[in-house]
Structure 1
Amino acid sequence: MMRVKKKNLDGASLITPDTVAKEIFARRTETFDEQFAVAKAEVALILELAQQQFDNRVSAREIIHRIAGALHLLRDKLHSSVWAELIPLVQNHPVSHRFLEDPFTRWSFEKPRGYSGDAQLLDFIYGHDSVAELVKKATPLGAALYDYTKDASSSVAVRERRDLLTRFVDEAAARHGDETEILTIASGHLREADASVALKEGRIKRWVALDQDPLSVGSVARDFNGSCIEAIDGSVRDIVLRTQELGTFDLIYAAGLYDYLNDRVAIKLTRRCMEMLKPGGMFLFANFSEDIVVDGYMETFMNWALLLRSKADMWRIVNASADPASIEAEVFFGENHNIVYATMRKKV
C-alpha cells in the first residue's frame, strides 16, 4: 500500500552537505590563517602523490587506501574550520576526476536525488541489482576503485546494519506475536525486509515504511505490493509536529538518519518515537561513530558529510529523551566499531 501526500522533497528536512556542515565545522580561530597555510601545503602533497601514482599505473586499491588514510589523519589533527576549507580544494583538484570514475563515489558526489545518503547510494554498498548496470558501465579504473569502496570498513558496517535490522524485526515479531506493528523512519528501499523470515511467514500485522523521497516510497510500494508493508511519504518534521497520525508500534527504528540530525532535533524525534511505542516496545537508532577511518575521503571526494557520534553522545540523546526509570536502554558498537547503536525499550 502506498500513501503519498507530497510530490516534492520536504525542503525543511532536506539533507545536504551544507546543512550538515553547519553542525560539524566550528568557527575559525585566531590561528586559522597560519594553520590553513600549512594544511593547504600538506593536502597538496597528498593529492599530487595520488596523481603521480595514477600516472605510473600503481594499483587503484593501493592509491585509494593510501589517500583515504592520509586524509583521515589530516582531518583528525586539524581544527574543523581548517579542514572545512580544504574540502573544496580537494574536490577541485584534477585527481578528483580519477576517483569519480568509481560509480559509488560519483553517485555520492553528484547526488542525483538532490541529497546525501539516498537509498540508491546504499544499494551500491549492498551490491544490489538496481545498480548493476551503473557498475557494469564503469571504466576499468572505476571498477577497481569500486571494489575497494564497496568493501571499505564503513560499507561493511552498513551491510551489517541491514542484517541487524532484519534480526531486530524478526525478534520483535517473535516477542509480540502476529499483532506486531513496526515503523521504519527514513526507510529508503527497506532492503532489510528482503531477508525477514517474519515478513515472509506473515507474522507481522503492519509495517510502516516512512521516507521523504517519493522515489524511495515508490520503490517500497512496488517491491512489497500485497504485503503488510505500507509505504508512506513523510519526514522527521511530520513526525515531530504530529502532522501524521501513524498509530503505535512494537518496534520503531531510524538506522540511517541520526547522522544528519543535531542533538536538539535528535532528542525531539526520540521523545516522539518513545511516545509512539507500545508498552514493551523498542526504539532503535544508529549513527556512524567517531571510529570511522574513511571520513576524510567521504567528506571530500564523495561530498558526504556526517555527524559522527561516540557512545557518550548516544547516551546523551537517550538520557535526554526518556526517564531512565521508564526504559531499558543499551548502547553498543557494531563489529568493526564504525556504527554505534542505541536501543530503548519501554517498560511494561
Structure 2
Amino acid sequence: MNEPQPVLDGESLITPTAIAADMAALYPSQGSSDHLATATAELGLVLHSARQWFEAGNDPAQTMRWTVEALHKMRRKVDPGVWQALIPLAQEHPVADYFHQDPFTRWSFEKPRGYSGDARLLDFIYQHENIREDVAEASPIGSALYAYSKYYPSCVAVRERRDLLAQYVDEIAEERGDGTEVLAIASGHLREAGSSVALEQGRIARWVALDQDPLSVGSVARDYAGTPVEAIDGSVRGLLTDAYKLGSFDFVYSAGLYDYLTDAVAIRLNRRCLRMLKPKGTLLFANFSPELTDDGYMETFMNWALLLRTEADMWKIINASVDRNTVDAEVFFGENRNIVYGVIRKRD
C-alpha cells in the first residue's frame, strides 16, 4: 500500500524533512540488523493476531485497544531508528484495511487536505456535526472502531485543549475589558470560539483566525460571519517575515502547530508572537507530550507523526524565546498529561 504523502505549500515550514532532521538529531539510531529483525518479527505477530481477531468477528474496539497498547509498548522499547523502519511494514500489512474502516483513522492516513492534523481531522475528535455523514457511511467494523478511537487519551486531551482555550479567552476578556483582541495561529476551524462566553456576549473586539489552509479559512469566515472573528489566509513563514500587518493583541495562542515545528522555528515564532503582544499580554502554545499512549498507532495506521515535547523541552523553548526577567512564565500539563502547555505573560 502506497500511502499519500503530505503536499505542503512550503510556507508553513511544517515539512517532513524538517521533522525527520529534528528527530535524527534528538534520537540518533543505535539499532542493528539483528534488532530490526527481532522487532519485525514481534510486529508481525502483533499485526497477525489483530487480523485474526478481525476475521474471527471479535469485538473491533477490543482488537483496536490491544493493538494500540502493543504498538505503544513496542515504540517505547525499540530504538527510534528501528521504529521508523517498522512504520511502513505496519502500513502495508493487510490488517490496515480493517483499521482504515474507521473514518477517523482513514482521514488521517489519506490526508485529503495534503497534510497531517488538519481541521477536519480535529472535527472527528470533536465529534462535530460536519463529519456525521462520514461516520454514518462507515462499515459496522468502522463504526465500532470510531466509537472507540474518538475516546483515545489523545482525543480526550484535544477536547480539553479546545475548552481550555475558550476559558483563557474568557478570562482575559474579563480582565482586559470589551476591547480584548485575540490572535489564533493555525486556527483550523476555530471550534473553541463556539464555547466562548466572551465572544457570545460581545466582549471581544477582534479575534483573528490565521491559517494556511484555504478550506479552514473559508469555514471560519462562513461560520463566524457578522462577529468580531476575522479569518485570514496566512502561514508561519508569513508571520516570521512580517508579511501581515495584524496589529497587537491581548492574547496570542497556537494550539496544534508546535507539534510540527523544530525548536529553532518554535523559538522564532514565539519571539514574533511576543512582539505582537500588548503590555501584560499573554502567549500560549501547546504540544503533545511523550506521555501519549496511542503514539504507535498514530504513526503507523494514521500516518500522523508528531514532535513530542517534555516539560523540560517547553522550558527550553521559553527560555530561548524571551528574557525571563521581563515576563512571567509557566509550563503545565492537561489532566491526562497527553498535552503540555507553555504560557508567557508580559509584565509591561
Judge conservation of contact 1:186–1:257 (CA < 8 Å) in 2: yes
User: 1:16 Cα deviation (Å)?
Assistant: 5.5
User: 1:120 Cα deviation (Å)?
Assistant: 0.1
Equivalent in the alignment of 1:12: 11
How do residues 26-65 of structure 1 correspond to structure 2 at under 5 angstroms? 29=29, 31-65=31-65
Deviations 1:48-89 (A, max 9, x none): 010111111111111111111111111111111110010000
Measured in 2, the distance between the counterparts of 1:240 and 1:293 equals 33
Look up the SS of the partner of 2:297 in the other structure.
Answer: helix
How do residues 1-348 of structure 1 correspond to structure 2 at under 5 angstroms? 10-13=9-12, 15=14, 17=16, 19-25=18-24, 29=29, 31-348=31-348
Measured in 2, the distance between the counterparts of 1:289 and 1:28 equals 20
Structure 2 counterpart of 1:225, one-letter code: A
Aligned residues: 341
User: 1:301 Cα deviation (Å)?
Assistant: 0.1
Measured in 2, the distance between the counterparts of 1:17 and 1:208 equals 28
Deviations 1:101-151 (A, max 9, x none): 000000000000000000000000000011000000000000000011101
User: 1:21 Cα deviation (Å)?
Assistant: 3.3
Look up the SS of the partner of 2:183 in the other structure.
Answer: strand
User: 1:35 Cα deviation (Å)?
Assistant: 1.1
Structure 1 counterpart of 2:130, one-letter code: S
Look up the SS of the partner of 2:246 in the other structure.
Answer: coil
Judge conservation of contact 2:180–2:205 (CA < 8 Å) in 1: yes
Measured in 2, the distance between the counterparts of 1:87 and 1:113 equals 22
Look up the SS of the partner of 2:245 in the other structure.
Answer: coil
> Percent identity of the aligned residues?
59
Look up the SS of the partner of 1:62 in the other structure.
Answer: helix
Structure 2 counterpart of 1:171, one-letter code: E
User: 1:238 Cα deviation (Å)?
Assistant: 0.7
Measured in 1, the distance between the counterparts of 2:311 and 2:171 equals 24
Look up the SS of the partner of 1:86 in the other structure.
Answer: helix
Equivalent in the alignment of 1:4: none
User: 1:13 Cα deviation (Å)?
Assistant: 1.8
Equivalent in the alignment of 2:4: none
Q: Which runs of 4+ in 1 moved over 6 A?
A: none
Distance 1:340 1:190, change over 3 A: same
Distance 1:81 1:9, change over 3 A: closer
Measured in 1, the distance between the counterparts of 2:8 and 2:217 equals 11
List gaps (5 residues or longer) in structure 2: 1-6
Judge conservation of contact 2:8–2:115 (CA < 8 Å) in 1: no
Judge conservation of contact 1:153–1:338 (CA < 8 Å) in 2: yes
Measured in 2, the distance between the counterparts of 1:190 and 1:30 equals 42
Structure 1 counterpart of 2:347, one-letter code: K
Structure 2 counterpart of 1:156, one-letter code: V
Look up the SS of the partner of 2:94 in the other structure.
Answer: coil
Measured in 2, the distance between the counterparts of 1:30 and 1:307 equals 20
Measured in 1, the distance between the counterparts of 2:45 and 2:325 equals 54
List gaps (5 residues or longer) in structure 1: 1-7
Task: Give the TM-score taking structure 1 as reference length.
Answer: 0.95
